[in-house]
């Protein structure tokens, strides 16, 4: 799975890499975590970094808390699983990152976090899906049981998930899944291709340009978000 990642690449470099403008200031993040609002590039606004909440809430969900269990979508079933099929059909996105974290079991039974990134720390896009969930309108005031009662509108909730696939040889030493890293030339296909075309870019990324190294267990807490989280530690 992919449960944490980083995005500290300078804004100007992200603008150049993705051809998109942020809808609000981009801050350096070293510990992006589920439940947070994070920048993505959606298929309906490919020239913007929009901020969506990590943890996909299907449009038909009764409770937005279901997003807590939908931070990842398996590439093998994303086209037919009810939670993701509609989004896969028409709401795909790019999730910018410059590294992600995996936890490997140690011989002592604990888990050691590792950072996975390109050797030059360049930014990349993970394949994602996004959704817009609209809460039910509630009537308020004296006329709340009538047809003309005032309504209390809540803003639609926009969320996303990261697609995962089988690991490459490097990641297989750490975990049995990895985020789908898109080659730059495949990003347009993922955003705008038909479902059959999109399926062709969901392979595991070759490991010859990637590196993985152990980092501090401080990354285990989303409250910790600082540059020292990506520093190599001895294990």
Residues 87-138 have pLDDT tens digits of 999 999 999 999 999 999 888 889 999 999 999 999 999 999 999 999 876 5
CA–CA gap between residue 220 and residue 224 (Å, rounded): 8
pLDDT of 143 over the 70 cut: no
**What are the residues whose beta carbons fall under 8 Å from the beta carbon of 35, sequence distance 6 or more?**
53, 54, 55, 67, 68
Q: Which domain holds residue 100?
A: 5-137+151-230
CA–CA gap between residue 158 and residue 235 (Å, rounded): 40
Q: What is the pLDDT of residue 65?
A: 87
| CATH number, position 163 | 3.90.1680.10
From the list 2, 32, 93, 131, the catalytic residue is 2
In a domain, 34, yes or no: yes
In a domain, 145, yes or no: no
Q: What is the pLDDT of residue 145?
A: 42
**What are the residues whose beta carbons fall under 8 Å from the beta carbon of 231, sequence distance 6 or more?**
215, 216
In a domain, 29, yes or no: yes
In a domain, 235, yes or no: no
In a domain, 123, yes or no: yes
User: How many CB atoms are closer than 10 A to CB 90?
Assistant: 10
Active-site residue 2, yes or no? yes
In a domain, 142, yes or no: no
From the list 93, 102, 131, 187, the catalytic residue is 102
Q: What angle do CA 102, 104, 109 make, to 5 degrees?
A: 145
CA–CA gap between residue 112 and residue 128 (Å, rounded): 26
pLDDT of 139 over the 60 cut: no
Question: How many structural domains compose the chain?
Answer: 1
Task: Check: pTM over 0.85? Answer yes or no.
Answer: yes
CA–CA gap between residue 41 and residue 165 (Å, rounded): 20
In a domain, 146, yes or no: no
């Amino acid at each position: 799975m992919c449960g944490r990642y980083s995005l500290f690449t300078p804004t100007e470099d992200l603008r150049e890499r993705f051809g998109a403008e942020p809808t609000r200031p981009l801050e350096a993040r070293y510990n992006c975590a589920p439940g947070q609002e994070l920048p993505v590039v959606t298929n309906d606004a490919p020239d913007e970094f929009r901020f969506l909440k990590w943890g996909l809430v299907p449009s038909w969900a009764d409770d937005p808390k279901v997003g807590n269990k939908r931070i990842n979508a398996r590439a093998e079933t994303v086209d037919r699983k009810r939670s993701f099929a509609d989004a896969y059909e028409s709401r795909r996105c790019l999730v910018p990152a410059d590294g992600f974290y995996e936890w490997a079991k140690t011989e002592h039974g604990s888990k050691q976090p590792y950072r996975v990134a390109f050797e030059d720390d360049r930014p990349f896009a993970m394949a994602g899906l996004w959704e817009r969930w609209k809460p039910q309108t509630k009537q308020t005031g004296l006329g709340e049981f009538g047809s003309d009662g005032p309504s209390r509108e809540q803003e639609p909730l926009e969320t996303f998930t990261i697609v995962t696939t089988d690991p490459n040889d490097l990641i297989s030493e750490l975990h049995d899944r990895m985020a789908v890293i898109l080659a730059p030339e495949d990003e347009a296909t993922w955003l705008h291709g038909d479902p059959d075309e999109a399926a062709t870019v969901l392979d595991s990324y070759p490991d010859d340009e990637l590196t993985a190294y152990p980092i501090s267990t401080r990354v285990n807490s989303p409250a910790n978000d600082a540059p020292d989280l990506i520093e190599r530690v001895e294990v």
